[in-house]
Chains A and B, each alone.
Chain A
């Protein structure tokens, strides 16, 4: 079955960088894009970006474009999220989620069908 397993909690100081990993199993890794989503304490879901695990293509929300990098390691079926120059506003649970597509009438509509358990990133001095 499809599984998405994330790395453990992180505690970082302001100005530092963090890297969160997301290891996929149970399906053909390179055939599915992967999203990253975050949720600050008591807040809603916020889309960060998407990576094509079969190529170098990435797409980032404008808010994060200057300090986010997403990457993949196909040999281990793992995607990574790196976020630089952290502030307290980056304190959140970070989720990866697999992208699937519903296609009808020649058009495909994406959705997030399998989510990791989340990684808590705390930014504090």
Chain B
């Protein structure tokens, strides 16, 4: 079982806002990063350091963190945002890494 817990699936209407959460004890100490994976493609970094956005990632993607929970918010979701989203951070021992179980985002 993953040390980082995510909801399996969420849906959002086109143009609306959706928030994806990731819970785990290690998030009290270590920042999360977030990855978007579209069908048949390699994962793509969308947020690092809890809330930093890499160059080229649209501003509608934002991240935040509080206590044991990291969040990824898509403000004004677009059809192309339909994908699986994974959080990643250190494990509870702080030595290695772990991925969340993933959240499938459907844009209606």
Is residue B23 contacting chain A, with contact meaning CB distance below 8 A?
Answer: no
* Residue from B2, B42, B45, B101 within 8 A of A111 (CB atoms): B45
* Residue from A35, A45, A111 within 8 A of B49 (CB atoms): A111
* Residue from A37, A95, A111, A116 within 8 A of B48 (CB atoms): A111
Task: Write out the residue numbers on chain B whose beta carbons fall within 8 Å of the beta carbon of A116.
Answer: 42
Task: Write out the residue numbers on chain B whose beta carbons fall within 8 Å of the beta carbon of A111.
Answer: 33, 45, 48-49, 88
* Residue from B49, B54, B102 within 8 A of A44 (CB atoms): B102
Task: Write out the residue numbers on chain A whose beta carbons fall within 8 Å of the beta carbon of B48.
Answer: 100, 102, 109, 111, 113
Q: CB distance A47 to B86 under 8 Å?
A: no
Shortest Cβ distance from residue B51 to the other chain A in the assembled complex, whole angstroms: 10
Q: CB distance A46 to B42 under 8 Å?
A: no
Q: What are the nearest 4 A-B pairs in CB distance?
A: A102-B49, A111-B33, A111-B48, A109-B31
B residues with CB within 8 A of A: 2, 30-31, 33, 35, 37, 42-45, 48-49, 52, 54, 84, 86, 88, 90, 95-102
